[in-house]
Structure 1
């Protein structure tokens, strides 16, 4: 018998919330490079996720989740080339004095279930980014009938001086390794 399924069925019938124990880590980074791609890689290194293959998710936070703001050194550990399931925002600037702003914000359902929503945006100013993050969270909540409250946000920014730059914010759900031919 699958205990998790039994617990889930019990939670559904009793009205109690099932806790899955997922910890979602949110980190940020900035980088500079000779190209946009190398600036992106530098920002991913700063955020602690450069050696993963990023699998971008839509922005739903499963029930039982905890969202933690962490430094790049506290991000999920894994093997080189592992898959990393995440939500992320990236922003770029390549003209001197131009700014790149990236942000991820989240809300939680009012029912204390740990379920919620992420939104991710990029902009050329903090004011524009904060507006878009708030407006999107409000719209996503209204579209689901309300019942959400602001959980937090992480914002990263960098200004271009003479080389392309990138700002990244990444919310990581889990990592997964690859199945090799030897494992089949």
Structure 2
């Protein structure tokens, strides 16, 4: 970011899960990125001010306890028929002044569809805004169903939080 220091970063991680059902495949994908023990709270897609996005694994997934809330943005797609593909992706743009950014999340049955949807959504979200934004970035993940349901997951976990009175 050009004019402001980054104090926090949100990791963006991806995984594939395979299971007997689409739900268990989704759970296995969450377990693969150490998020299988949280209650997910899906956020709208605003990146807070002075917060970067990490896709290189420099920032760990937030840590909490079993059953905590995990605030996150995610894209998830499942496939159940052999040969069917599942693609998920998250894209983002950051304001150049360091005052935040925007995530978008898309799912589909082809890499091209998801990439196009991400880039189109980001272009639409910043069109006509006075703020200046960096070039779009994105993370995508795909998997193909072989014989059991498969899940592709891309998730940006913001933070874990306890339930009031839970400790």
TM-score by structure 2 length? 0.90
Q: 1:71-86 alignment to 2 at 5 Å?
A: 74-86=60-72
**Shift of the alpha carbon at 1:60?**
0.7
Larger CA deviation: 163-172 vs 135-144: 135-144
**Shift of the alpha carbon at 1:20?**
7.5
Given the alignment of the two structures, is residue 140 of structure 1 paired with residue 125 of structure 2, yes or no?
Answer: yes
- Paired position in structure 1 for 2:78: 92
**Shift of the alpha carbon at 1:74?**
3.2
Q: 1:94 to 1:58 in 2, by over 3 A?
A: same
- Paired position in structure 2 for 1:173: 158
The answer for unaligned runs of 5 or more in structure 2 is none
Task: Give deviations 1:34-73, integer Å, cap 9, x for gaps.
Answer: 00100000111112211111100000111110111155x9
Cα RMSD for the two superposed structures: 2.0
Name the SS for the 1:150 alignment partner: coil
**Shift of the alpha carbon at 1:172?**
1.3
Larger CA deviation: 144-153 vs 161-170: 144-153
- Paired position in structure 1 for 2:38: 52
Distance 1:135 1:117 in 2: 13
The answer for unaligned runs of 5 or more in structure 1 is 1-15
CA contact (8 A) 1:107 1:116 kept: yes
**Shift of the alpha carbon at 1:31?**
0.5
- Paired position in structure 2 for 1:9: none
Given the alignment of the two structures, is residue 155 of structure 1 paired with residue 140 of structure 2, yes or no?
Answer: yes
Match of 2:107 among 122, 125, 128: 122
Q: Which has the higher helix share?
A: 1
Given the alignment of the two structures, is residue 107 of structure 1 paired with residue 93 of structure 2, yes or no?
Answer: yes
Q: 1:89 to 1:123 in 2, by over 3 A?
A: same
